[in-house]
Amino acid sequence: MNAPLRIAIAGNGMIIPTALQCIREAGGYDIVAIAVRPHSFEQGLSLAKEWNIGPEGTFSPDSVYTDYNKMLKESGCDFVYIGIVNTMHYAYAKEALLEGKNVIIEKPFCLEETEARELAHLAKEKGLYIFEAISSLHNPNFAFLADALKKIGDISLVQCNFSQYSSRYDAYLQGKVSPSFDPAFGGGSFTDLGIYSIDVVTALFGAPSSVDFHPRRGFNGVDTSSVAVLHYPSMSAVVCSAKDSGSPSGITFQGTKGWVKVEGTPNEMAAVTLALRGEGDPVTTDLRTHSGRLTDEFVDFRGIFLRKDYPAMLKFLSHTLDGMAVLQLCKKG
Q: Which CATH class is domain 137-288?
A: alpha beta
CATH entry 3.40.50.720 includes domain 5-133+295-309: yes
Task: Order the strands of the 250-255 sheet from edge to edge.
Answer: 210-217, 223-232, 235-242, 155-163, 250-255, 258-263, 271-276, 283-285
Please write down the long-range contacts of 289-295, taking CB distance under 8 Å and 24 or more positions apart: 289/140, 290/22, 290/25, 290/26, 291/25, 292/18, 292/21, 292/22, 292/25, 292/26, 293/18, 293/22, 293/135, 293/267, 293/268, 294/18, 294/19, 294/22, 294/133, 294/135, 295/22, 295/25, 295/26
Q: Which amino acid is at 188?
A: G
Q: Which amino acid is at 249?
A: S
Q: pLDDT of the chain along its 333 residues, tens only?
A: 678 999 999 999 999 999 999 999 999 999 999 999 999 999 999 999 999 999 988 999 999 999 999 999 999 999 999 999 999 999 999 999 999 999 999 999 999 999 999 999 999 999 999 999 999 999 999 999 999 999 999 999 999 999 999 999 999 999 999 999 999 999 999 999 999 999 999 999 999 999 999 999 999 999 999 999 999 999 999 999 999 999 999 999 999 999 999 999 999 999 999 999 999 999 999 999 999 999 999 999 999 999 999 999 999 999 999 999 999 888 776
Peptide bond into 208 cis (omega under 30): no
Number of C-alpha atoms within 13 angstroms, CB side, residue 233? 3
Domain-wise residue ranges, the chain: 5-133+295-309, 137-288
Q: Read off the pTM.
A: 0.95
- Rounded Cα gap, residues 18 and 60, in angstroms: 21
